[in-house]
Amino acid sequence: MSDNSGGVTYYINHHLTHWSIGEGFWTIHADSLIVSILLGSLFCWIFWAASRKATEGVPGGLQNFVEMMIEGMNKLAKETFHGHNPLAAPLALTLFCWIFLMNLMDLVPIDLAPSTMEALGWDYFKILPTVNMNVTFGLSLSVLALIIIYSIKYKGPKGYLHELFFHPFNHWSLAPFNFALNFVELFAKPVSLSLRLFGNLYAAELIFILIATLTLSYGLFEVFTSLGGIFLLIGQIILATIWAIFHILVIPLQAFIFMMLTMVYLSMAAESH
């Protein structure tokens, strides 16, 4: 149910505005930080609780789920990452579960978090961290750092520099051209990762907001007492349900794509040309 104060433009802008602390470059989006940290802590706690209660006998539902996730990510990491690296599987598991939980916040009713926090004294609060480009770029910059670290680790500093300047054309006269190509390719990977995740979730959230505006012109009780309000409310519920069911597929898919491409990029960084 929507609040009609301020009109459609105000409503949309309000739901797309972050709880910000500070100004300019050093602005902190507190809502994204709080939610992402809480969800990351929840992920760690679930797996820690499962390990504490692990038994060699008949496993419970939580242990079954955790073991299935770990075994699946181990298999995926072995198939994707060429060579042995003890960080590959835990990294894949962490990326998938954390991004999945953050994406899952898109299924929370669109007015619940802003209305609740507004009642507590905060004007703005976005519960979906992955519609914040700072969050998606932060994740992708971590992947960029790992790509560089893996390249140096497996090829050595000299080998990595040689690859930057002499691949794909192995001639000294083309070294500047090679470096330009490799530099663009290196930074295109995290940029594409972040924009893909941000764009898909932003579009999904925006559609939820637009669906919520169908009853924006009606008051809380007016929507139930007028024929037009009842029809719009029914249409709103049907559209939101259909979009939520479709979005259930998007949520794990975007987490899987981000995780899978990260594994592919790290595997490419560990290979020598």
State whether the Cα torsion 54-56-58-63 is positive or negative: positive
Between the alpha carbon of residue 147 and those of residues 35, 257, 272, the distances in Å are: 27, 17, 13
* SS3 call for 28: strand
Instruction: Report phi then psi at 219, rounded to 5.
Output: -75, 175
**Distance, first Cα to last Cα, the chain:** 58
- Active site (catalytic) residues: 192, 196, 200
Give, for 34, the enclosing helix (H) or strand (E): helix 30-52
Two structure tokens written together for 36: 């992402």
Enclosing H/E stretch for 269: helix 227-269
